[in-house]
Every structure is written in C-alpha cells, then in structure tokens.
Amino acid sequence: MRPRTKLAALVALAALSTVTACGGDPKGTEEKNGANSTATVTVRIPDPGNAGVLARGKKDGSLDKALAAVGAKVAWTGSAGPFAPAAQAMNADQLDIATGSITSGITSLSQSPGFAFFTATDPDPVGEGILVREGSDIASVKDLVGRKVAVNKGGTGEYLLLKALARAGVPADRVERVYLRPDQTAAVFNAGQVDAWAVWSTYAVAEIGSGKAHFVADGTAIGSDNYSLNAVRSDFAEQHPEVVKALYRYLRENSAKEKRDPAAYLNVFTDAGPTAVNGKAKEVQIGFTREGGTVDPIGAEDIKRFETVARFYADQKVTPNKVDIAAHLLDIEKLS
C-alpha cells in the first residue's frame, strides 16, 4: 500500500478511460426524483467496452449498486480511447471521469486543465515497450538508430521511445519518430512502413498474440515510470466528493480481483467479434494483467516519479516547460 500524502491544490480533476465521442446533456449531472425531490447525481464515464473492471461492473450491476449507495448513477458516454480527447471532453464539461497514462496526462495538463488525478496504478512492467516484427534484425534499443518508430505524439508511445533511447545512450535525433494514432498504427506496422512501434498492452496484445511481433524492450527494461491514472473533472469533485470516493473504492477493490482472476474480466459481453480476445492473445493479456498493478491512492513515492516524468518531458522538449503535476493531484482519502 502506498504512503498517503497531503497534496497541495485540489483544483482540476478528470480521466478514467478516454472518449472519442461524447453524448447526452453536458450539464445534466443531477435529476430530481419524485415528490421528495431527492437529487440523483449522474457521473459520465466512457463506455468500457468488452473488458475490464468497469465492463464487468456494468454487466453485473455491481457498479450501479456501489454508486446508488451514495445517490449516484452512471451515464455511459462515448467510448474508451486515447486520453487527450477525454481530457478535452472533461474541460468542455462533457465527461466526469476518465483513465489515462501519466505521460498523456502531463501533456494535457500543459493546456489549461479542468481536471485532476485521484488514483494511480503502477507502471506496467511487461505490457508496454518497443515492439518489433518477428524476424526483424532489431535486437536491442541501440539497433533503432536510423530506423522509423511509430509513436503517439506526447503520450505513452513517445515517452517509451524517448525513455528507452535515453537509457541506452542513443541521442533522440538518431531515430525517426513517426506520429500516428494508436488505432491506426497496426496496419502501418504490419506493412513494414515503420520498423518498430512504441506501444502499450491495449494494442500490443493482438500483435504479440498473433505470433508476428515481440517486445525488444518492455517496461522493466526501459525503466518506465508510466503510471495509469484515473481523473475527475474539477467541478464534479468539488460538488460530489462522496461519489468520487465511492468510485475509487469500487475501482480499488475490483482491480485487485481482476489481478487475481484476469480471465473473468475478459470478453465480458461477448467472446466473438473484434472486441473479443481469444487464443494466444487471451493468454498474453492474462499474463500482462497478472503482472500489472492495482488501483491505489496517490502516495508520496508516486508523486516523486510523476515529477521525474514531467521533468523528462520538459528536457526532451515534449512540453515547453515542466508541468507542475503536484498541483493537479487529489488525496482521495482526504476528499470531503
């Protein structure tokens, strides 16, 4: 368990799983019920798809039950995806909760944020890294010199590549970064138009599971500090702290269950079609989840590592200045 820390400023909050589209009433966070006019708080969360804690909670009703205990309910809006659009949706009052990496979070915080982070999950030791095709002559990070590597700009991919190069003593300008959206990269990677792909488990599982790719360096080898974080829209946290705390408790408890039994959180709604994970890819995903972290409150040691990432991004010119990450963190256990 991480040590608890009193954080400086509560201001801005948001992100648990990002959106590519948002719907519903952007201002409709409360509704009146019956003659007693009891307010029900609506918390807007990206639809979780076919896997994970929220998907299972959506299907079995356990998330509804946990939120009903504090007078709240979920409105699933948009769909999970990259964090940057989710941050924009929170800033526009179209989303209340989302998930993203500390790396994408830092770049989003550099632009007038209206959200803050309230949980942390340790960096993925085995599910993120530098992916190369089977048969590639790239056997180490140093072999990336003169090559093209696909990354998502300002997010996990760019961070993993820059971090790997720095650790290997390779100047960043010796490797060509090809900026692509993660959901558009697989076809480019498999067609050989890039030599490697700096990527995380969401997209790596299918590639590794196909038997056509492998990590030349994973999160452990890279020395990644790429935490996964949950965030909340600032105004929502200020107005409904009890809802944020209930969601935190739900995520923490159920992420521990997922780590113990990963298979139970896969193919939640269907075991067929493009959202299903089967065969070798399913085995890969189960292995990644077992080695991964759980949702926890943000502690002092986490903050030090966040600051290291913020400093690294500034040094690498990914952000114009060092982002004050501590000003956008929330001590969930002191929220009231």
Residue among 171, 168, 175 at smallest CA distance from 150: 175
Note the pLDDT of residue 38.
66
Residue 131 has pLDDT above 70, yes or no: yes
* Residue 263 pLDDT class (50, 70, 90 cuts): very high
Task: Please give the average per-residue pLDDT across 321-330, as a whole number.
Answer: 95
Tell me if residue 54 falls in helix, strand or coil: helix
pLDDT tens, 272-296? 999 999 999 999 999 999 999 999 9
Q: Which of 20-24, 34-38, 46-50 has the lowest mean pLDDT?
A: 20-24
Lowest mean pLDDT among 10-14, 77-81, 101-105, 227-231: 10-14
Is pLDDT above 90 for 112?
A: no
Q: What is the pLDDT of the chain when averaged over all its residues?
A: 90
Q: What is the C-alpha separation between 236 and 303, in angstroms, rounded?
A: 23
Q: Which residues of 290-309 are buried (b: 16+ CB within 10 A; e: fewer)?
A: ebbbbbbbbeeebbebbbeb
Residue 111 pLDDT:
81
**Per-residue pLDDT averaged across 47-65, rounded?**
97
User: What residues contact residue 161 under an 8 Å CB cut-off, 6+ apart?
Assistant: 130, 149, 151, 175, 177, 198
Q: What is the mean pLDDT of residues 191-203?
A: 97
Q: Higher model confidence: residue 33 or residue 304?
A: 304
Residue type, 178: V
59 pLDDT higher than 90: yes
Could you tell me which of 132, 209, 217, 208 has the C-alpha nearest to residue 166? 217
**CA separation for the pair 160, 157 (Å, rounded):** 5
Residue 199 is predicted with a pLDDT of 98
Is residue 1 within 8 A of residue 293, CB to CB? The reply is no
Please give the structure tokens belonging to residue 94: 């179209």
What pLDDT, on the 0 to 100 scale, is given for residue 30?
A: 54
- Chain centroid to CA 210: how far? 24
- Name the pTM for this structure: 0.87
User: For residue 143, what pLDDT is reported?
Assistant: 98
- Tens digit of each residue's pLDDT (9 = 90 or more) over 157-178: 999 999 999 999 999 999 999 9
Secondary structure (DSSP) of 145-203? TT-EEEE-TTSHHHHHHHHHHHHHT--GGGSEEEE--GGGHHHHHHTTSSSEEEE-HHH
Q: Are 201 and 127 in contact (CB under 8 A)?
A: yes
- Determine the Cα–Cα distance for residues 74 and 87; give it in Å rounded to an integer: 19
